[in-house]
Amino acid sequence: MPFIVAFLFAYILWLVLTAGSNGLLWSTEELVAGLVFAAIVGYATKDVVGENSTRFLNPVKWVTAIAYAPVLFWGMVKANLDVAYRVITGKIRPGIVRVPVELENDAQYTIMSNSITLTPGTLTIEASPEEKALYVHWINIPKGLERPESSKPVAGPFEKWARRLGR
Amino acid sequence: MNDGDMGVIVRTMARATIPLIGIFGAYVVMHGHLTPGGGFQGGTTIAGAGILFLIAFGLGEMKKRYNKNLYSALEGLGGLVFLGAAMLGIGVAFFYNTLWHNGPFFNGKPGTLLSAGYLPIMNLAVGLKVFTGLVSALTAIALWRRWKE
């Protein structure tokens, strides 16, 4: 079944790229060519996308992803302003902290790490599923938080969202 | 981490992006006669997906997936298809675009997908050849495992 995931993923991108070939919609030949090429790409990459990628076909997950977009965007806005403040004032206390996380699979680690890296001031430098921890470079470690107990002070609500999105 | 591959984040992102790079390369190849790009550009784009696989998953995984005979045969096939398209109008001249002038297909209105005669066929052939050739070359380089004598 991973063929279906890769095929749909590829076909949707093809439709996005060729939109407008017939008015605002797609001409028949583009649709057919897209089917052929998406089938080839899906067949070639069915082992790459992985056996358990079919869980991302669940529409509940897409709604969750759309709901996550403003959360991530708002986090980025806040953190960018914070970094601008630190650039002007120079008040930094950098260091690398080990953040214990409660995540189960690779997709959750990826979503979590990318969210942490996208919000400036924090940068994931290593995700270690074996010891259930992330190593994060933090621009301004508050006093007493050198060994955080959870990901709350580093990443805010991102761990909860990553667990939900990648389940 | 296994031998020779990147961390869990790079591997998971490669799983997500390799199909996207593949279909984008196919788009560039297939629309070579309509938009910028073509056989070589699209072929190198798809080869980029192969190289991403090699780097993200490591040489051990690549050895299991890469079939030297298949890639070699496909590269030859790409060259032969190009030559075959060039020979189609040999009754008039070499590289005579007979598909465009009086062919049964690929003679649609200019600007649509199925136009421009043999150009889409040649773009596909060049794309296939460039993709298989580049992936073969870089896999061969990666298999060279001695740093010094």
Q: State residue B21's pLDDT score.
A: 92
pLDDT, mean over chain B: 85
Asked if A50 lies within 8 A of B15 by C-beta distance, the reply is yes
Closest to A151 measured CA to CA, from A160, A143, A142: A160
Q: State residue B135's pLDDT score.
A: 92
A135-153 confidence digits (pLDDT tens)? 888 888 888 777 887 777 7
Q: State residue B125's pLDDT score.
A: 92
Token output for B123? 């773009």
Calculate how close chain B gets to A91, using CA atoms only, in Å: 31
Q: State residue B73's pLDDT score.
A: 92
pLDDT, mean over chain A: 84
A1 touches chain B (CB under 8 A): no
- Asked if pLDDT for residue B70 goes beyond 70, the answer is yes
Residues of B in contact with A9 (CB under 8 A): 19-20
- Asked if pLDDT for residue B1 goes beyond 70, the answer is no
Asked if A37 lies within 8 A of B26 by C-beta distance, the reply is yes
Residue in chain B closest to A11 (alpha carbons) equals B23
Q: State residue B129's pLDDT score.
A: 92
Asked if A113 lies within 8 A of B65 by C-beta distance, the reply is no
Of A48, A109, A113, the CB nearest to B15: A48
What residues of chain A, 6 to 35, have a C-beta less than 8 Å from chain B? 6, 9-11, 13-14, 17-18, 21, 27, 29-30, 33
Asked if A126 lies within 8 A of B53 by C-beta distance, the reply is no
Among residues of chain B, what percentage have pLDDT more than 70? 95
Task: Out of A1-5, A44-48, B79-83, B99-103, pick the least confident.
Answer: B99-103
Whole-angstrom distance, CA of residue B23 vs CA of residue A164: 29
Residue in chain B closest to A112 (alpha carbons) equals B9
Total-model pTM: 0.84
Q: State residue B4's pLDDT score.
A: 61
SS (H, E, C) chain B: CCCCCCCHHHHHHHHHHHHHHHHHHHHHHHCCCCCCCCHHHHHHHHHHHHHHHHHHHHHHHHHHHCCHHHHHHHHHHHHHHHHHHHHCCCCCCCCCCHHHHHCCCCCCCCCCCCCCCCHHHHHHHHHHHHHHHHHHHHHHHHHCCCCCC
CA dihedral A148→A154→A157→A158, nearest 10 degrees, is -110
Of B19, B30, B114, the CB nearest to A49: B19
Residue in chain B closest to A166 (alpha carbons) equals B12
Of B24, B108, B114, the CB nearest to A13: B24
Residue in chain A closest to B66 (alpha carbons) equals A44
Helix (H, G, I), strand (E, B) or coil at A131: coil
Q: What's the whole-number mean pLDDT along residues A20-47?
A: 84
Whole-angstrom distance, CA of residue A92 vs CA of residue A138: 9
Whole-angstrom distance, CA of residue B7 vs CA of residue A28: 42
Q: Interface pTM (ipTM) of the complex?
A: 0.82
Q: Which amino acid is at B112?
A: T
Q: What's the whole-number mean pLDDT along residues A39-68?
A: 85
